Each structure stands twice: as structure tokens, then as C-alpha cells.
Structure 1
Amino acid sequence: MMESLNLRHLRSVVAITRLGSISAAATHVNISQPAITQGLSKLEAQLGIALFHRLPEGMQPTEAAAVLTPRIERALDHIGSPLVTMAQMRALLTLAEGGSYARASAITGLSQPALHRALADLAIVLRRPLVERRGKGIAFTHGGRRTVRAFRLARAELRAGLAEIETLKGREVDRIAVGAMPLSRARVLPEAVAAFHLAHPEARILISEGAFIDLIEPLRDGDLDVIVGALRDPAPGEDVEQQPLFLDRPAIIGRKDHPLASGVASLAQLAEYPWIASPTGTPLHSRWRAMFERAGLALPRVPIECGSVIAIRQILATSDFLAMLSPDQVGLELSTGLLGIIAEVPAELSRTIGITMRSGWRPTMVQAAFLEQLRLASGAIDASRTT
């Protein structure tokens, strides 16, 4: 539905909500009163819900307008210009996601000349070049990349607003897009997703796996709503914020019959064996280095650097390698005796697991319910570790 919306009609909704009448809104947005009235009627028909009560003293926003208006305002702030149309916005986003005019044409059903015209008009409206030729392909200019991100964030706001309207109508068609880092996939995220689905069976949950470096830009673009995993210190920028869920204390993991499994291994003994380390730059890698450096020991050999827990588990089970992992990540292998905890790590090397989101992000009611399930699952994990 979003692509069929008219941005001028959405601007009119904001003006009517803030000014209280169609006549005042018409002056503010420079559209005739009949055009605003007609546009509002069309928009309400599209949404299937009334946005205003028509009263003698003016236009009173309904609950639907109260929910939708802040979303529209945020979307328009991202778009930046009142001259941008939904068709231009869609053309740019489809080109960015398709990677070529041919692919964008196939996705939208528009001809390539029509896409070229829409983007040329958009560049004129925004007063900056957006796309340039690179050999036989295309590339976005710096301004083009900034505009793509702004339009994606605007799209995310409008989608959220439409989802909230459907919730008011008694239908949960909302979605939450989650970036899942390795530790979150072990326990907290599956438990939260299962509980959330029972309470909200019609809501969609889109989970994208990856390392933080792979997930942070989709989060900034609005393609992801949250990232769940180890928090960064310092935070990755002022445009994102972090909320802690629980502390995770890693352990040294090896096969059940590892030469060091039978006793209390010293750090010097651990350093004599080959290690699988987390990728450089991750919080777990930093803690692994700190463990040896604080003890004044040289770092052990690291023939393998790996971020895949599945691969690490298999290598550990058939070799003398060691790895620093959360016990939650190898819970099944520990319970069956395939792997064992060779040694504990100092408590100060614990890491904070939490939620990373865009600064100022406003979750919908359904998305807020999912975040609450994450917090409940995290509390259960903390409780299980203290009993």
C-alpha cells in the first residue's frame, strides 16, 4: 500500500492535524481546499479508517491520525523536500536495491526511460546529482548515497505508521527486522521469538544473521529495526544507541577428553595449545587478548580465526584446539559431554549483551512487545545462572 500513497496527501494530514482546519492547512501547504478535501477522502479510503472527525468548529484528529501524524512528520523530515513524489522515492530505492536500471525496471514494471526521467527530476528537485555512470554500470554519488539512506528511513517510518493503523483496526500485520549476532542466536533470541509468536501470531519476524560490521549499516538504513548481541564499547556513533540486556561470562571450551580437561588448568598451560579466536575487532577477541596480556603472557598461537560457532564446535570436538565462547553457544554439546569447560575466565572479562537501535527510533506497539519479550528472556537467563 505504501507505494500508492501520495506524499502531498500525507503532508496535508500533518497540516490539518496541527492547524485544525482544512482552510488553514490549504494555505500552509499551498493546495486548494477542494484538492485537500478530495485527497483526504482518498487517503482515508486507502487506509480504511477515518483520520478526522468533521466538527462545526474544525477538524479533530481521530486516534488513527494521532498515531499516523508523527510517523508522517518523521518521514517528511527524512525526505527533506516538499517537491519529492512517492514515484521518485520509489524509483531511487528500487535502483539502489536492484543495482541497475534493468533490474529496477523489472521490479517496478516501469520502463527504463521512465525511471531515468524520475531520477533526473529528483536530482533537479534536490539540487544534487544522485547517480553517475561507471563504465557499463552505475554508481551513486555521495549525495545519492545519503539520499538513499534518508528515503529508506522515511519508508521505515511510513511502514510503521501503516502497521499501527492496522493494529487499531484489529489486525496485526506489523513486522520487526532483527539483526542477530552469534551469541543472541544461541538462547535469548530463540526464546524471545517463540514467546512473542505465541502472543502475536500474525506479526512477522525477519531475522538476519551476521557479525556487527555486517548488520550496523542495514540498521542505519532502516532495513533492520534492532541488532541483538554483544554491545560495543565505545558505542558505534551518536546515530545509534545501546540498551543492555544481561551480562555474559565466557569460558574456555575444549573437547571433553582434552589433555587439560582433567585438572585446573593455569593460563600458562592454556597458552601452550592452539586456539580458535573470534575475528579481530569483536568484543570477544578483545577479551581473549586481555586475558593473556593482563597476566603478562604472550598470546598463544591462533591458526584459526573464525566467527562461525557451528564450525568452531566441530573443530573443538575433534582436536586439541581451545576457544573462548559463551557456554550458551555450546549448551547442547556441554550437556551431552561432547565438549567441556576447560577453565573459567575472570569475571571482569564478562561482556554485555543487549540491543542496538537507531537513536530516536520509535517502535510500534507490536515491536515494543517484542522488545519486552527480549527483556523477559534475558531476565530468565540471568535467573537461571544464579540458581
Structure 2
Amino acid sequence: MDMPRLLDGRLKLRHLILVDALTEQGSVVGAAAALHVTQPVVTRGLHDLEAILGVTLYDRGPRGITPTVFGAAFTDHARAVLAQLRQAARHMTEIAEADRGTVVVGTHLAGSNLLLPRAIAAVKERHPLLTVVVREATPEVLLVGLEAGRVDLILGRLTSLAGDTTVRESLYEESVKVVVGEAHPLSDRAEVGLADLLEYPWILPGTETVLRRELEEFFVRNGLALPENRVECTSFLTVRQLLIETDVVAVLPGLIGRGDPRLVTLPVPLEPIGHSVGVTLPAGRPLGPSTQKLLTTLRSVAAELEES
């Protein structure tokens, strides 16, 4: 195929925004809703873009659209361009307004209860006009946001090696603990075995998470079946309230149980389950001043947590 000429004036910024939405939503209907335009506008824009590139970007099916190899590749490039533009706009604002700015941090369970709140409090004390936006989602959703520039950094469990589009930095090592509420029947027991917990309902992470797979392997090694009476949840607020109000058992990062007076960590060893808590950053994209400030503060607070 001939190399597409993308700088001849036909390719517009709206085409990049469109392909990002189509790939994320998986349907023309979803993309139209996300972009607040009509479906014919999305369809026409996609046809225009495919004509410019000379390839088919999506396979159409009864359940929506799926990126072709061309669509997946062009989406990556589109998100990289959009991320750079978002960063440029934010950088210009920060330069113009000195200590003002915005940093968007994505988070999932690990690090969200102590490290992130303390870091936000510390950075706001020094830079009161800096806005910190916290977005909670699954690691997969946050990575898409990071690549597209909608998220500046991700804080949470580091579960795999960084790829070409991300850089990962470990801040501290954290063990995983069995946690119950302060009123749980086993909360004051000096010795608790794993089998003692099976009569109670459990809160487990979702099947798509690494921790869930590690727990399943842990139960198998101990000759036990995974609890059938369970809730699957990674929302800290929901998990905490269930622990306080019911007799559920949860497996949580150790600092969550240690830092909350209404939760109790049970003496049930879960070795070798543990993880690094750290930040995931975009590779090849300079960090804005606001992101640098929060990152520096996260490193400082994490060091304090490790010492304590």
C-alpha cells in the first residue's frame, strides 16, 4: 500500500478523537454518546478517516466494532498525539499561572488509603491552588487513560513489567493480609486458621486481577476450595463498609488494615502473596510541573511509610 499522507490537510484532530472513542467504546452508538454527536456524524467521520489511511480500521459485527490490526495501531498513535496535546495545554496554563495547575492521578486499591491521601494533603499544603483529580478504576481502564493523556500517573499495585508505552517505579513493598471488622467474632482471637474463616462470607478481588489468581493458587496449595459465599469488589469504600457492618472477611493490602482503627488484621499468614506499590508513568512523554510535584511528594511519603 502507498504510505498515507497525513500532513496534507485532510487529517483533522477530530479524527484522532473519534478513533480513540470508537476503540474505547467498542461501538458507533457508544462513541456517538461519548462525543455528544449523532451516529451519522461518527459513521461519516470513520469513513473519511479510512479513506485517508486507505485501510479498514474496524471490523463491524452484530455486537459492535473490533479494531483491525490497522485500527489498533492507529489508535495507539492517535492516543499518543492526543496525550501530547493535552499535556501541552496543561503546561501552558501552568507556566502562565505559576503555582496553579492540575494533575490527574488514577488509583486502584493499593496505596489509596494512606499513601495517596497523605501525599495529596502534603502537596496541597505547599501548593494550595494546585488541583488534584483522583480517578478510581481498574488497572486496565487506567492504563488506557494514561496512554491517551486523560490520566497523568497511576498509583497502585505493580503487577507486570512496563511495556513500550509506560514506565513503572516501585515505591514500597507491601504484604497482603486477612482483614475483618472490629466487631467480627474472630477479631480478638490470638490464633486463627484459614479453615476457621470458611464459614464466613468473603470479599475477593475480581477474576481479572492478579491478586485473585494468587488467592486461588493459595487456596489450592492449602487443599481448600475458594469460598462460595463471596462478594467480588475492589472499591475500598464498599469493602470497608461491609467489613464494619457485617461478618465478611476480606484480603487487603496490609496498610489498609493497619491504618484503620475499625478494621482488624487477623494472624493468618498468606505468604508468599505480596506486591510492590508504585507509580506507572507514560514513557516518552515529559511530565508537567503539577505531575512532578505530586510524584516527588508520593516518593517522600512512601519513604516515611516504609520507615514506620
**1:83 aligned onto 2:15:** no
Spell out, residue by residue over 1:315-345, the C-alpha distance to the aligned partner (whole angstroms, 9 max, x if none): 333444322113433556x42xx43222243
Identify if the C-alpha distance between structure 1 residues 312 and 173 changes in structure 2 by more than 3 Å, giving closer, same or farther: closer
Q: Structure 2 unaligned runs (5+)?
A: 22-29
Structure 1 residue 188: Cα displacement: 1.1
Amino acid at match of 1:235: L
The equivalent position to 1:354 in structure 2, one of 268, 278, 282, is 278
Q: Is the 8 A contact 2:171 2:299 kept in 1?
A: yes
Contact 1:163 1:172 (8 Å CA) reproduced: no
Counterpart of 2:291? Answer: 367
Q: CA deviation at 1:248?
A: 1.6
Tell whether 2:157 aligns with 1:225: no
Q: 1:360 is aligned with what amino acid?
A: G
Question: What residue in structure 1 maps to residue 102 of structure 2?
Answer: 175
Contact in 2 for aligned 1:180/1:228 (Cα 8 Å): yes
Partner of 1:377: 301
In the alignment, the residues of structure 2 paired with residue 95 and residue 364 of structure 1 have an alpha-carbon distance, to the nearest angstrom, of 25
Number of equivalenced pairs:
293
Q: In the alignment, is the contact (CA less than 8 A) between 2:176 and 2:253 conserved in 1?
A: yes
- Which of 216, 223, 239 pairs up with 1:297? 223
After superposition, residues 244-323 of structure 1 pair within 5 angstroms as 244-260=170-186, 261-271=188-198, 273-294=200-221, 296-304=222-230, 305-323=232-250
User: Is the alpha carbon distance of 1:84 and 1:124 closer, same or farther for their aligned partners in structure 2, counting shifts above 3 Å?
Assistant: farther
Residue of structure 2 equivalent to 1:99? 31
| Structure 1 unmatched runs, 5+ | 1-78
Partner of 2:263 in structure 1?
339
Identity among equivalent pairs (%): 23
Residues 246, 344 of structure 1: alpha-carbon distance in 2 compared, 3 angstrom cutoff: farther
Q: Measure, in 1, the Cα distance between the counterparts of 2:136 and 2:207.
A: 18
Closer/same/farther in 2, CA of residues 301 and 96 from structure 1, 3 Å limit: closer
Cα root mean square deviation, aligned: 3.6
In 1, Cα distance between equivalents of 2:31 and 2:158: 32
Q: Could you say what secondary structure the match of 2:190 adopts?
A: coil
**Contact 1:166–1:172 under 8 Å retained in 2:** no
Q: Shift of residue 308 of structure 1?
A: 2.6
Runs of 4+ in 1 over 6 A off after TM superposition: 131-135
Which of 1 and 2 has greater Rg? 1
Shift of 1:130: 4.8
Q: Any conservation in 1 of the 2:167–2:283 contact (CA below 8 Å)?
A: yes
* Residues 101/185 of structure 1: CA separation in 2 closer, same or farther (3 Å cut): closer
CA distance in 2, matches of 1:372, 1:255: 34
Report the 3-state secondary structure (helix = DSSP H, G, I; strand = E; otherwise coil) of the residue aligned with 1:206: strand
1:186 and 2:117 matched = no
Structure that is richer in helix per residue: 1
The SS at the match of 1:329 is helix
Contact 1:246 1:382 in 2 (8 A): yes
Measure the CA separation in 2 of the matches of 1:104 and 1:272. 49
Q: Deviations over 1:21-44 (max 9, x none)?
A: xxxxxxxxxxxxxxxxxxxxxxxx
The one-letter amino acid paired with 1:366 is S
The amino acid that maps onto 2:131 is R
Kept in 2, the 8 Å contact 1:84–1:122? The answer is no
- Hey, what's the Cα distance between the residues in 2 that align with 1:257 and 1:167? 49
Instruction: Considering Cα pairs closer than 8 Å and 6+ residues apart, tell me whether 1 or 2 has the greater RCO.
Output: 2
Taking structure 1 as the reference length, the TM-score comes to 0.63
Deviation of residue 145 (structure 1)?
Answer: 5.1
Preserved CA contact (<8 Å) 1:226 1:356: yes
Cα distance between partner residues in 1 of 2:288 and 2:138: 26
Distance 2:283 2:34 in 1: 36
